[in-house]
Amino acid sequence: MGFGVGLYWPATEAVVADVTPKRDRSEAFALVRMADNVGLGLGVMSGGLLIATAGTYRALFAIDGLTFLLFFALIYGAIKETLPRRNRPQPFLTGWGTVLQDRNLLIYATVNVLFTSYIAQLHSTLPVYLNRFVPAGNFGLGLPEVVLSGLFTGHVILTVLCQLPMARALKPFRPTVP
């Protein structure tokens, strides 16, 4: 999951930077983060509900895979390429040699995957740990799925509510990178 998110976030940020005017980028980035968090919140909430009512973990993974396919189709169909087309088609793997020789890009990609792996652990491993190993008083060992779903949904709702106002409050300040 961390590897996938590590590849997804930079591409998302590049698209936002590419199609958004410079003066609106901080707000656009905040909107993208807010949309990510809304999706995470809905996923946690509906996944917790599905597991609590039906107990079918396999269905949860199948539904997750289908939503990623729908997301791919949406991105593929809705986002237009902004670079002009070249006169002659180039083989698919032509640019990889250049990319794999770019030391700064490789360092950035490695660090990005490591940091996003940490974030992925927060959303994937922490709930399992809290469900299986944490003493929960009247519940015995581990918090029930419904309680975990509520906790993580509350976290995501708080993030969503604060994201855009914080971006708008910080908009007058100069960004750290020009």
Q: Inform me whether the pLDDT recorded for 84 exceeds 60.
A: yes
Q: What is the pLDDT of residues 3-55, one digit of tens each?
A: 666 677 777 888 888 888 888 888 888 888 888 878 777 777 787 788 778 87
- Return the structure tokens found at 16: 């936002």
Helix (H) or strand (E) holding 20, with range, is none
Residue ranges covered by each domain of the chain: 1-55+141-172
Report d(CA 163, CA 157) in Å as an integer. Answer: 10
pLDDT surpassing 70 at residue 139: no
What number of CA atoms fall less than 13 Å from residue 160's CA on the CB side? 15
Across 102-122, b (16+ Cβ under 10 Å) vs e yields: eeeeeeeeeebbeebbeebee
Per-residue pLDDT at 118 exceeds 60:
yes
Provide the β-strand partners of residue 135: 141
**Is the pLDDT score of 76 beyond 80?**
yes
